[in-house]
Every structure is written in C-alpha cells, then in structure tokens.
Structure 1
C-alpha cells in the first residue's frame, strides 16, 4: 500500500479511524521514535476493552515465526479486530549481526537479565552455525581464534568471555532452546502473500531492515511501512526537519511535567547531544530533575547539567562505561579511533572516570555515605549529601565538581562493587603496558578493557 514517514502518523491514524486499515504495519528506525508511533497505532487499532482476547504481544527475543503465524491464522475470540504485535522483531536479522547480538547478550547478563542473555547468546550461536554442544562445558574455548573472528567479527579473549559458561548453564537448566536457522522471512512472506483473516492485523517493529529483502518489498506492497528513522543529512532542509522533530518531542515530554524550554536551550542541548533521540531524551530527563520546581529550563541549565556528548566524546565514553553499557561504549570507542584520537588518550580518560567512581564508592562505604540513598532525587542529593562531601573532601574531584556531575557519578557507582572498580585498575595498568610495548591492535586492547570493566567481577554467578 505505502511507505510513509513518521511525521505523517496523524494522517495514518485518521485513516485507521475511518476504517482504512492495512493487514500489516512495519515500523523501523530509531527505537525511541518507533516506540511512540507503535503505541499510537496499536491504541488506535484496538481499544483497551478488546485487548484481553484480541491482542497478542510477542517480544523479539522469544519470537518464533510459527507461533506468530498460528496467532495470525487464528480468528478473533470476539467479533472485532485482532492485533498480533511483534516488538523488536528479529525477522530481518542476518549472519552479519552475530557479533552485535553476542555483545547484547553480555549486556543483558550484566543487567542480570539472564533469560534475555541466554536467548541472545543462542540467537548469535544459531547465526554462526554452531550448536549448543559446540560451547557446552567450556567447549567454546576449543574453537580456533581465526574461526571465532570469522563468525563474530572480533578476537576471542577467554578471560573476558568466561560469562558464556554461566549463560550456557542457564540455557540448559531452563530449557532455553537454540532457535531455528531457517529463513523465517520467507515463511512469513508466503503467509502475507496468501492473505490474513479479514480482521487480523500484524504489527512489526525493528531497529533495522534490509530494504532489498523481498519480505520488506512485500510488506510495502500489501501493507504500510512507517519510516521512523531520523534524517541524517547536513543540508538546510534536513537540519530543519531534525530540529522540528526534536522540538515537537521536547514539547510533548515537558508538557507532561508542566515545564517548557525556549529555542536557545533546545539549540544548546542539541549541540551537545546531536540528533540521537534516546540520548537526547536521557539528557532532557536530567534537566527536568535539575530544574526541580522551576517551570522553565534555560540554556544556562543545559550548560551546567547536560553531558557534552557531542563536543566531548571522551566524556561520553566514560559515562557509558559508568552505566555498564558495553555496546554503546565500543561504538563510541570506534568513533574516537576513526577520528584519530590517540589510544593512550582514550585509556587515560577511562582511567580518570574509574577513579571518580572509586571515590564515590569509597564515600558511600564510610560514615558520611550514610546520607546517600540510591533512590534519592537530585534536589535531595544537593541538600543532604553535598554538604557531607564538602566536609570530607577539601580539594580534588569531589570538592570541585558541580553537584549534578557528582550526583550522576554516584548513580553510576551504584552499579559497581568497590572491589570491581579496584580490579579494573589492574586492567587499565595492563592495557597501558600493552599499548606501549605490545604489537597487539589498540582496538582489541581497548575493547577488552571496556568489556572487562562493564562485565564486572569474574566470580559473579547467576541463580
């Protein structure tokens, strides 16, 4: 039927309200953007009163095309529309994504989302063509380095990959099965070409698509494809579309909080974050907290609070590591190296951030740290904890930093045990030696540092 831009979603909703409904909707692009579009479309397609019987949500990490097809072929329980929604669908995933999915598995493991970690790991394994037996009982260590690099796109390091044994054990103990490697896209495409029952509708969301795939072309022909990507051009027209999009999103978010932001403040924030909605939304949330009871957020607030993610990617890297976000950290690392940032400069920046986290964690472990509560909001931190910090720290980072910078450092430090951070110092020392004396690739050395710090303790076990 059509491919439309997310900016036309209101027109699409009007069409749905008038009964002009597609059998399938595909939303792709920016996650923050397509999630809001997804909610608007599903709310319009099916009322809350019909959702108990006529609404089925399938999460991508547990997606099985045969289950999806069964749901799509089943007639509604009540005489009304039936919606089958697959969120974060993996229907477009290919072998080239194995490395990224393996890294995502590590991130889930660090967040103690063990089932998701196992599902992601087995998905990556299936894409490589290996079986569960190939990795069980530490057998993955017998895979050659060259073969590992060929399948996943990065070098294997047994020390940083020890978590795999825990994930494999979890998969075996909880009957998490290796997903099928058959071309699911062709199976779904065949069903869509045949046609769904009259009132059944499929809604798919995904972070990426390959527009050359026949499934994409089929959906575009018989359904509605909604492009939720953000313009990436640098021309005047693209810049205006980018700014207008972020202005509208900002107004919608701030309206719920009873706040506003003027043009200068929005421009200042975009100058620091770039046109990344998820990152922008995170910074905007910090500004809302910082403003407290004030109704208006100013450019001065942005200057004091917002992370300088666009102008200072080294600062961004430190904060991502502090959040244990290995995937995004490595992406920023690659960007830094591509822009000729020296590996030793990157390592020094990481070391500086780790030392800040150690100082925050050490403060919490002492008597003065009793004033700190991980759940406290910024105003409480500023009035209760900051005076204690000033009493204890006469100079250095703790005394000189802006209270909001300290607040975020304390929040990040909560993700680590003090022992983990002290252990990270040894990683950094070894990496410094490797960068100065070893023939090893600086990319590999720095990636290993990031993964080891984000992973945490070696002895961490799952229940």
Structure 2
C-alpha cells in the first residue's frame, strides 16, 4: 500500500505513476486525489491540463481525455471521481445519493448520467426517473427493481433531472470499462496520469488490478481507536483546513466538535472553516467557539439507544446514557431527548409487533430467515405503509424490526410505553434526571 507523502514527492519530481487508485472516505480520498493532481501538474498549466470528470461520463469519455495530447508539452492529469460506478455490482443507495450530490452541486450532466446508468440496470425509461410525477415509478417499485428508493424530498430534483436529461437527449453510458483498461495497458501518452477516486473497488476489478500492478493504490480513511466518537482521528482534516491559516483547534474544541457533528468529514471540514473565520485573529480555537456557532446535528447515539432498547441490551443502553451525561453538566438537557428516543423505540416495537402478528406468514412460532421474509412478508409490509403514506424501510431494516418484535410480548411494550409517559411527567415535575433514566432503562430492558 502506497504512502501519500511518498507519492507526492515522486509526482513533484517527475516520477509520477501512469495510474493511481485512491480509495476510502470520500472527503479524504478526494483531497488526496487533488493533492496528487496538483503535484503532477504545475499551477500555470492546470487550467488546460487538469481534468476532473465523474465516472458516470463513461469509460470512453475518460479515454478521450487521456488520449488527447496535453498542450504545451506539460504534464496532464485526469481525475475520475466516483469510480466505484465502474464496478459490475453497485450500491444503489450510494449511487442515488451520489446523483443527488452532483445535482445539488450544479453538475447536471454528471448527475443525469449517474442516475441513468443506475436505472438502465432495471430496464427503465427516462420517464420512470421523474419520481412523484404522473406515470412515474413508485417508491416501492424503485426499491424492488432498482434497489433503492428516493425520499419525498427528492421529488423536485428528480423531476427536474428527468426533464433536463430529456431536453439534452442524454443516455446511460455503456458498460465499456474494458476500453479504459485497454487504453492504460497499451500505454498513455507521455506524462499523462489517470487518478481514480472511489469509496472502494473490488480487488479483482480490472482497474484495481491495473493500479496495483502498473501504478499505485492509496487508501484514505479516518481511523477510530475505539467504538465511541471521541476516538475518531480528525487531525488530518483539521490540519488541511487550519494549517495554511496558522490556527489550531484545542483538544476540548475537537471533542465538542465531534460530539456535535459525528463522523461526516466533509461537514467537519466545513465547520472548521467557519470556526477559523469566527476566531478572527486568534490562533487557538476553543470549545466556547464551537458551542457558539456549531449546531448539534449528530443523531447516531440516539439511533444506537433505539437499537439497544429494542434488543433489550441493558448494558449498552446504560453505557450510551452515561456517555451522553459525561458531555454536559445539565443532565436534564440530555435525559429529555434521550427519553424521547426510548419512547420512539418502544412505539416502533409495539407497531412492529402488531403489524407482524397480523401477517399470517410472520405470525407463526418459527422465526423467518431474511430471504424468506423478503419474499413472503415484506410485500405486505410495503403495501401497508404505502397505503398509509408512510416511508417504506429497507427490507433488511424491516426484518431486524420483525426479529426484535418477537423477543418480548406485546404486553411488555404496552407497559413500557406507560413507563415512558410516567417518566416524562416525573422528569418535568422535579425528578432526578439520571436516576429516572437509569430506572426506566432497567425496567424496559431488564424485565423478562
């Protein structure tokens, strides 16, 4: 596995590789690819000789950029983002999300091509992409045939994208990755470099093998030294944003920032940039700066609470509660939303229990394995939720809910809901927040 500093040194000294594959977290991978491209191509030549394209453009377009001889005999780099699209099997949820990001970034052509390629695998027409429009595919059909379903909030941009693609007469790029592989194997023009950026490509993929044998593979990922968010290493992100400004982030500020934002590195980088502006002439950014301008958006802990409650995992639920309490001196401000998360988990378990008890295939004493659930039970769940106008979950998520609902009788979840209501009243009338939350979790997760 290559080291970024060594690759940058080689690129600056004119010893760059013909092909690079940069894998890992999207923010870090793109950042490393940009650094490589800038090390390969001198600043005064980048306007013409540094090309950035999305993989949705197709292998043939990438090859055309590679084989077009660079002007002024300068080095040339072609950066291909989202290269996981070249894989035979793609993550439909990720591809839909990538199309959304491209559209929001005003890269309409790339977004349309990305989506069209995803839909082509289902044999869909362009009109099917206009989610929410008359005659367009429903969310259930998206999930069944494409493998991912858009949200209600996606209706606007998907309809705009469908109209744009029709007006531009765009089509899904062909699956011709062999053209790109052959071009690199034959040899690129002198001082021409291909940089592939992907969250991940299978090791046996032709492009991955090509990078490993004829170029360099670089993996970029923020390391975690433990399970909790405070062990996430964001030093590289912080250095990239604050280093040129000669500013630092205090340890307390870093911890508070991670608690508020979680592990979204792109969001973290954006907020660190805002903090640098807010700090003005001060070299050190402190915790009070984070508390002043960074809004809490991290929800993963409360999802974990919900999961622990439905699993009946008392130890994990208490651990999550205590983690949250350690982050602030105001216990009530933690316990109120925590109690809401517990109540939401109980309501979902109660609803799941009632739902699966009414479906004959799921009501028997035998626990159904996932494949059978997806085939015989999930269609009924999907139909019920669509009729009610509610969001349809991923089949695997629904199966987990089905399994959890079977672990306790319905009476347990009814009693737990009453306990949540009583706990909410007690908290608002002066009860000790910590003791109340611990007792509630013990009653819900510990009782059998």
TM-score range relative to shorter protein: 0.5 to 0.7
Q: Tell me what 1:167 maps to.
A: 161
Q: Tell me what 2:173 maps to.
A: 179
Among residues 262, 268, 282, which one is paired with 2:256 in the alignment?
Answer: 268
The aligned runs of 1:280-359 (5 Å cut-off) are 280-310=268-298, 338=307
Residue 125 (structure 2) pairs with residue 131 (structure 1): yes
Worse overlay, 142-151 or 156-165:
156-165
Q: Secondary structure at the match of 2:201?
A: coil
Among residues 197, 211, 220, which one is paired with 1:228 in the alignment?
Answer: 220
Distance across 2 between alignment mates of 1:438 and 1:235: 34
Residue 60 of structure 1 contacts residue 90 of structure 1 at CA under 8 Å; is this kept in 2?
Answer: no
Residue 192 (structure 2) pairs with residue 196 (structure 1): no
Q: Tell me what 1:44 maps to.
A: 39
Worse overlay, 169-178 or 275-284:
275-284
In structure 2, the CA distance between the partners of 1:312 and 1:18, relative to structure 1 (3 Å rule), is closer
Deviation of the 1:45 alpha carbon: 1.0
- Give the total of aligned pairs: 330
Residue 65 (structure 2) pairs with residue 71 (structure 1): yes
Distance across 2 between alignment mates of 1:112 and 1:73: 27
Residue 27 of structure 1 contacts residue 227 of structure 1 at CA under 8 Å; is this kept in 2?
Answer: yes
Q: Secondary structure at the match of 2:80?
A: strand
Distance across 1 between alignment mates of 2:149 and 2:88: 20
State the superposition RMSD in angstroms: 4.4
Distance across 2 between alignment mates of 1:261 and 1:106: 32
Q: Secondary structure at the match of 1:85?
A: strand
Q: Tell me what 1:83 maps to.
A: 77
Q: Tell me what 1:11 maps to.
A: 6
Residue 99 of structure 1 contacts residue 152 of structure 1 at CA under 8 Å; is this kept in 2?
Answer: no
Residue 63 of structure 1 contacts residue 86 of structure 1 at CA under 8 Å; is this kept in 2?
Answer: no
Distance across 2 between alignment mates of 1:306 and 1:163: 28
Distance across 2 between alignment mates of 1:438 and 1:88: 42
In structure 2, the CA distance between the partners of 1:134 and 1:100, relative to structure 1 (3 Å rule), is same
Q: Secondary structure at the match of 2:73?
A: coil
In structure 2, the CA distance between the partners of 1:132 and 1:299, relative to structure 1 (3 Å rule), is closer
Among residues 5, 15, 21, which one is paired with 2:16 in the alignment?
Answer: 21
Partner deviation per Cα, 1:359-391 (whole Å, 9 max, x = no partner): xxxxxxxxxxxxxxxxxxxxxxxxxxxxxxxxx
Segments of 5+ residues of structure 1 without an aligned counterpart are: 315-332, 343-400, 402-431, 450-463
Q: Tell me what 1:250 maps to.
A: 238
Residue 252 of structure 2 contacts residue 287 of structure 2 at CA under 8 Å; is this kept in 1?
Answer: yes
Partner deviation per Cα, 1:73-132 (whole Å, 9 max, x = no partner): 344443343322223335434444334333444566677765454333312212323233
Q: Tell me what 2:92 maps to.
A: 98
Distance across 2 between alignment mates of 1:159 and 1:29: 28
Distance across 2 between alignment mates of 1:17 and 1:105: 34
What TM-score does the superposition give when structure 2 sets the normalisation length?
A: 0.59
Deviation of the 1:216 alpha carbon: 0.5
* Structure showing greater Rg: 2
Residue 54 of structure 2 contacts residue 110 of structure 2 at CA under 8 Å; is this kept in 1?
Answer: no
Deviation of the 1:291 alpha carbon: 3.1
Residue 84 of structure 1 contacts residue 201 of structure 1 at CA under 8 Å; is this kept in 2?
Answer: yes
